[in-house]
Chains A and B, each alone.
Chain A
Amino acid sequence: MNASDLAPTYDLAVIGGGPAGLAAASLAARAGLSTVLFDENPGIGGQIYRGITSTPVTDRTILGEDYWAGAELAAEAKTSGALIVGGATVWSLDPQRIVGVSIGGKARLIEARRVIIATGAQERPFPVPGWTLPGVMTAGGAQTALKAQGLLPAGRTVIAGTGPLLWLLAAQILRAGGKIEAILDTTPRANWLRALPHLPDFVLSPYFAKGLKLLREVRAKAPVVRADRIEAVGTERLSEVRFGRGDGDRRIAADLLLLHQGIVPNVNLAIAAGVAHEWNERQLCFQPVLDPDFGSSVPGIAVAGDGAGIAGGTAAAERGRIAAIAAVCALKPQATVPDPQTVRQRLQREEMGRAFLDWLNRPAERFRQPEGDTLVCRCEEVTAQQVHDMAAMGCEGPNQMKAFLRCGMGPCQGRLCGLTVTELIAQQRDTTPAEVGYYRLRPPVKPITLAELASLPISEIERKAVER
């Protein structure tokens, strides 16, 4: 597939080939919409089903049945008639639904009558001292290597943090024959207070039995220690992990530290497109303001999947279907679509145990609001103290902070520091993250080369120049 083979216009553009995107594209294409799905990875599946059509890990017990459920979704999408384009980086989306996309080093602008953003989630930043040392990576990164290439962590491995993915990764590593020196559980005990009222719903949800089984499986094979302080230590690279609780101070020699404290919506594309966002206090992140069909504040643009607020892979697929049904109803009212009520009921069931999980796995303040020399912005090397001082001097928001310190202005566009900066400013100024707000994000939301941009077809430029 070349950029030049794309049509100038599609009924629906779906951005992201995870469960939400696959389900949405499938449903819309089957209902007769001309549908294109872009994903920046060569294969579909997104993060949760990464490598679903190509993984070398063929023993189905290792990645688990929840992973392999993605195969059906992928197969469905492939036969739906939707044009699925891998290796396609969407770098811009504007409120007129002009999509900027690069494929194989060539850029194109296409127009879509509807857009479903299904760019999913990313791991929450985990800024502890030493988190930028070689040998420290995210649990998600390790899981990607396992799914896509069948790679197991090498050397003495320590996993630290909180959240379901942490335990799932530990189980997958152990099942595949890997070894884990220790799991440092940073889940604050006090979280139980706020989680408990939601326990009955959780017990009835599909997560309950799976979760318990997973915890039991991991605890049987790897030592689990509670920690409320973590530090990665080493000169050239990681050599040990220091951790502790209260006054205690322990250390463990390690070659690899995998950090994880939950996932948050990947908001960059939606914010750059002008979609209004709000603070979610339970999940401690920004999420788009959406209607019941996952339509955003920008007409014709919907956000489905975990990008709409974290709810997990199976819920993501149902959300994708709901957004796709809305697109079909708007563009082709006579088409046959699945009964939206049935889909909504399934979604409700999938979302049921969420409140309990969210409250229980809410990361501790000290792991979200670092201090001193701990780096906040890795691209521009800005420390917590610098952000703190600037806020104390009167800098009111992340956008002024950008101008003063350049934090969030590197190639990652704030993905690794945005939430931390917002929370640090809120803490210093004694206000809420909702008040402080988030970075105004600028396209390109993914870097493109000058050569790619220069490659935009001339005729298209002239056409747009006349239209505007």
Chain B
Amino acid sequence: MARSADVVVIGGGLHGCSTALHLALRGLRPILVEKDYAGRHASGVNAGGVRQLARHLAEIPLSIASMGLWEKIEELVGDDCGFESHGTVLVAENEEEMAGFRARVEDLRLKGFTHEELIDRAELKRLVPAVADHCPGGVVSRRDGAADPFRTTQAFRRRAIEKGAEVLEGVTVTGLARAGSVWRVETSIGPIEAPKLVNAAGAWADRIAAALGEPVAMDVIAPMLMVTSRLPAFIEPVVILRGRKLSFKQLDNGTVVIGGGHLAVPYRDENRTVIDWAKLAISARTVWELFPAMRAATIVRAWAGIEARMPDDIPVVGPSATSEGVFHQFGFSAHGFQLGPATGAVMAELVATGATNTPIDGLGIGRFKR
């Protein structure tokens, strides 16, 4: 006997859990299938940045919708998820970068987006006193912040279950087939049938897409992070750079998380990554130059989470172009954490009603077809 559900969600990252929660909130009965445990990969071990700043135009509406949910996250999931809002600051390292930032902020304003705000040297120093003196200014998004990624994913998972979703962990999808009016999802614990299917399988989503006859070019990546031992509080906002890869943030407990997109070597079939110290040394040198106070800090741990990156660095969100009842939600390209809450809501809306009011044009899987 096959289990049955209204929707099968494949993947228990933040996105899958968020979609399962929002489906359940709409009164549907989803079953979420996760091959490891919720938040095992990128969702649980990312830098935790909740950032609207410096996003691709196609993502901005989703990002703004998500920010609204982050600001009421406790209402949504019953846990504050460690979310704190001290802004994100994009630091300009020279006048040339500053000019680029100015053009970007003006362009956004013309399009009606006001969340990015140009700041001069004085305001930068006020927001980030520890930054090196040579930086002429930057851009701030004041409502941005950071949250605890594993705790967030667990909170979404827990609330989804409370609202009626079934979450199957340690269960692998082994096959997908159309069976009359429903999808038959073969799994390691038997088949599940449902009229609708959501592919939120992260670094493994290309395999699900391929099994549905909709192959897509996708890179498996593992962005690296490292964390220091505890330091006296010296910085509140999350700091990012444009010219060099760096993201930088001090947590409540005093530890500083350093990331920015240098990549480890991923082995997705073994759930394993190998850290590339030569590249982390580049991050270390950038921090050395930008935050002189950090030079004596001790690095206690480095890690990387496995995830998917699309060729154009923006995610696939929306219905399948070939299969009825299938919806894609993957390829967040190292910046999907902030998008999790609203993307789940949008997916649930799409699944339930066939349409969404949030603009997601430009994120469809059809863009990869020629």
> A residues touching B (Cβ–Cβ < 8 Å)?
92, 94-96, 98, 100, 107, 109, 274, 396, 400, 403-404, 406, 409-411, 413, 442-444, 447-451, 453-456, 460-461, 464-465, 468
Contacts and interface: CB of A to CB of B under 8 A. Distances in A.
B303 to A, nearest CB: 5
Contact of B299 (A98, A444, A461, A468): A444
Contacts of B300: 409-411, 413, 444, 447
Interface in B272-303: 272, 274-282, 284-285, 287-288, 294-303
Nearest to B277: A100
Given A274-B272, A403-B151, A451 B296 contact: yes
A186 B287 CA distance: 50
B13 to A, nearest CB: 14
Given A396-B37, A403-B150, A411-B229, A453 B281 contact: yes
17 contacts: A98-B277, A107-B281, A403-B39, A403-B44, A403-B154, A404-B150, A443-B275, A444-B299, A447-B298, A450-B297, A450-B299, A453-B281, A454-B288, A456-B284, A461-B282, A465-B278, A468-B265
A92 B301 contact: no
Interface of B: 37, 39, 44, 150-151, 154, 228-229, 253, 265, 272, 274-282, 284-285, 287-288, 294-303
B298 A464 contact: no
Nearest to B265: A468
Given A450-B294, A453-B281, 18 more contacts: A95-B274, A109-B278, A274-B272, A274-B274, A403-B151, A409-B300, A410-B300, A411-B300, A413-B300, A443-B277, A448-B298, A450-B228, A450-B287, A450-B297, A454-B285, A455-B281, A456-B278, A456-B284
B285 to A, nearest CB: 4
Contacts of B296: 449-451
Contact of B302 (A410, A442, A461): A442
Contacts of A451: 288, 295-296
A371 to B, nearest CB: 26
Contacts of B301: 409, 413, 442-444
B94 to A, nearest CB: 21
Contacts of A448: 298-299
A447 B299 contact: yes
A464 B44 CA distance: 29
B275 A92 contact: yes
Contacts of B285: 454
A294 B153 CA distance: 41
Contacts of B282: 461
Contacts of B295: 449-451, 454
A409 B303 CA distance: 12
Contact of A453 (B272, B274, B284): B284
Contact of B303 (A98, A406, A410, A442): A442
A317 B80 CA distance: 54
Query: Could you tell me the dominant secondary structure of chain B's interface residues?
Result: mixed
Nearest to A455: B281
- Give 5 closest A-B pairs by Cβ, nearest first: A456-B281, A453-B284, A403-B150, A464-B278, A454-B284
A403 B44 CA distance: 8
A465 B262 CA distance: 11
Contacts of B276: 464, 468
B292 to A, nearest CB: 11
Given A400-B37, A403-B44, A454-B285, A449 B277 contact: no
A449 B229 CA distance: 10
A456 B229 contact: no
A455 B299 CA distance: 13
A92 B298 contact: no
Contacts of B37: 396, 400
A274 B275 CA distance: 11
B274 A94 contact: yes
Given A450-B297, A451-B296, A443 B302 contact: yes
Contact of A456 (B253, B274, B277, B294): B277
Contacts of A456: 277-278, 281, 284
A182 B9 CA distance: 63
A411 B296 CA distance: 15
Contacts of A460: 278
Contacts of B284: 450, 453-454, 456
A18 to B, nearest CB: 25
Nearest to B283: A453
Contacts of A442: 275, 301-303
Nearest to A98: B277
Given A403-B150, A449-B297, A450-B298, A96 B280 contact: no
B304 to A, nearest CB: 9
A107 B284 CA distance: 12
A274 B264 CA distance: 14
Nearest to A464: B278
Contacts of A447: 229, 298-300
A468 B280 CA distance: 14
A33 B57 CA distance: 58
Contacts of A444: 299-302
B232 to A, nearest CB: 15
Given A94-B274, A450-B296, A465 B279 contact: yes
A404 B158 CA distance: 14
B302 A450 contact: no
Contacts of B280: 453
A468 B170 CA distance: 32
A95 B265 CA distance: 11
Contacts of A461: 278-279, 281-282
Nearest to A462: B278
Contacts of B265: 468
Most buried by A among B275, B278, B296: B278
A261 B112 CA distance: 68
A410 B301 CA distance: 9
B152 to A, nearest CB: 11
